[in-house]
Every structure is written in C-alpha cells, then in structure tokens.
Amino acid sequence: MKALTRDLSIFSEFELDLKPVGVKFLLFKPEGVAKLQKKMSICEMLKEGQSGKPFYAEVDNFTCVGPLITGMAETDPVFESGHIGEELHIFEEARANRRLYHYITKLERDSVRYVAFSPLKKLTYDPDVLVLASDNRHLEIILRAMCFSTGKMWSSLGTPVIACSWLLTYPYISGEVNFVVTEVSHGMTAKQVYPAGTILISIPYDKLGPVMDGLRKIEWYPSMFTEGREAHDKKFVEAAESLHKRLESQ
C-alpha cells in the first residue's frame, strides 16, 4: 500500500461533524493498521472510519452485501434472484429487485481481501475513494468546484438498496464523482447509520486533483448567494451589458 502522495487537507476545511474518510481496496494485508474487531455493514464501516481510528476489514467483519460488491464472496442466488426484496416488501416482485444487480458495480472475485478505512487526518495512504458526509451547502461547493474548469455535468446514480456500491465500487471503477442522500437508502435508513439530511459524496482517486484545484479557485460562499434576488439580477444585467458593449466596440 503506497504512502499518501498528495495533500488532502483542503477537505478538512469543510465544517463537517463527520470527517472525510479514505477507503482503499487491497489484495495484500495493510501494514501498521489494526483489524476491525467487530462485525458491521460496509456503510457502518464508513461511519466508523469517519469518527474513529484507521482500520481494515476482512470478509469475516462484514455483514450485509459488503463481500458481494468487493468480490470477497460468491453471489447469493437468494439475493440475486430478487426474492429477498419481494419478501421484505422493498420491491413489488422479484423481477424488479433482480434488475438492480445488472446496474451495481462489483469488483472481480477474490481481487480484494482487505478494505482499509481511515479518517482524513490520520490517512497515511492514497485512497481509492474519499467519502465526505455532507449537507446541501457543501455538496454545492464540491460540485461547483468539480465543474469549474471543465463545465462537465454532474449526476447522481443509485438504487433503493445496495447504496454502498454507488458510494464505493462505482466511483472507484467509473472514475466519476457520485453522491447519495442517505435517507433514500433502505439499509442506511433502517439501520439509522447517519443523521437525517446527510449526503455522502464519493470522490475517486483520479478526480481528487481536479476537485481540489477547483476548490482552490472558486469562492466557496459567493456573496450573490446571500445578497438576494434583486442584487443577483442587477449583477447579471450589468455583466451582460458590459459584454455587449465590448462586442460592439470591436
């Protein structure tokens, strides 16, 4: 596991109750990191990592679908048939539940044996995914920073269950920033993992640089956001008039 090669401290400047957590998928056991001494779902491990010490988890630490999305365990036909979703009244029929298994991202079988978690301030390795527990205000800042130099659109992908895939394996494999409102996740809501209104933002390793570059360039809290409608419209008109005059003067 390679040592941390970039300064991620800018993410510590967000006023978040739960600090960002770095996640890494590993074939080899990480050195200098203790193994988690309890069983929990992978979304609960995120919460554990945001508020505690660095740790790694093996297949015997996981409950729920963590081993499925990380490739640590064989698929379970009871789950992938969709009948579990029908039985729990999450989906009308098994066929509806079955469909999501064609959407979610799963890592190759046996390619991961350990998953490491660390709060940002104690992070010693380059994370595969950095996860922030946010609110609407901080989500807007991250998305605006991401779009600042490229203009590319953002999107949020997810399903009613297995939100962990959309937070961890999907960003890791696709290279796309993704975010999930925890209350739309059946498991996180039922387990009461996060406070109401929490938004989890996942930034894959190859987007950390562009996002941080945007964060350094943008105004995090623009004055236009607080000056009101009339001030906003006035500035918009003034900017347009200035550009028109510049065009006419050519």
The reported pLDDT for the residue numbered 75 is 83
Distant-in-sequence, close-in-space partners of 67: CB < 8 Å, separation ≥ 6: 59, 73
Cα–Cα–Cα angle for 56, 23, 80, rounded to 5 degrees: 85
Residue 241 DSSP code: H
Distant-in-sequence, close-in-space partners of 26: CB < 8 Å, separation ≥ 6: 1, 56, 112, 113, 114, 115, 116
Find out whether 165 and 61 touch, Cβ atoms under 8 Å. no
- For residue 171, give the H/E element and its range: helix 170-174
The reported pLDDT for the residue numbered 15 is 83
Does residue 180 lie in a domain region? Answer: yes
Does residue 242 lie in a domain region? Answer: no
Name the token pair of 197: 């209104």
CA 37, distance to chain mean position in Å, is: 24
Does residue 224 lie in a domain region? Answer: no
Does residue 236 lie in a domain region? Answer: no
The reported pLDDT for the residue numbered 76 is 83
Does residue 226 lie in a domain region? Answer: no
Residue 22's DSSP bridge partners are 118, 130
Name the token pair of 88: 């729990």
Does residue 2 lie in a domain region? Answer: no
CA 248, distance to chain mean position in Å, is: 47
Sheet of 55-57, strand order: 55-57, 114-119, 21-26, 129-134, 199-204, 178-181
Distant-in-sequence, close-in-space partners of 93: CB < 8 Å, separation ≥ 6: 82, 86
Each of the 250 residues of the chain gets a pLDDT tens digit; together they read 788 889 999 999 998 888 999 999 999 999 989 999 999 999 999 999 987 899 999 999 999 889 999 999 988 888 889 998 999 899 999 999 999 989 999 999 999 999 999 999 999 999 999 999 999 999 999 999 999 999 989 999 999 999 999 999 999 999 999 999 999 998 899 889 999 889 999 999 999 999 999 999 999 999 888 889 999 999 999 999 999 999 999 8
Q: How many domains does the chain fold into?
A: 1
Does residue 192 lie in a domain region? Answer: yes
Cα–Cα–Cα angle for 127, 131, 132, rounded to 5 degrees: 135
Closest to 65 measured CA to CA, from 165, 159, 199, 185: 165
Cα–Cα–Cα angle for 107, 62, 104, rounded to 5 degrees: 35
Find out whether 1 and 26 touch, Cβ atoms under 8 Å. yes
C-alpha distance from residue 179 to each of 16, 73, 93, 197 (Å): 16, 26, 27, 13
CA 138, distance to chain mean position in Å, is: 13
The reported pLDDT for the residue numbered 51 is 78
Per the structure, the complete domain to which residue 141 belongs is given by: 9-218
The reported pLDDT for the residue numbered 224 is 86
Q: How many angstroms separate the most distant Cα atoms in the chain?
A: 71
């010490």: which residue's tokens? 53
The reported pLDDT for the residue numbered 79 is 83
Does residue 130 lie in a domain region? Answer: yes
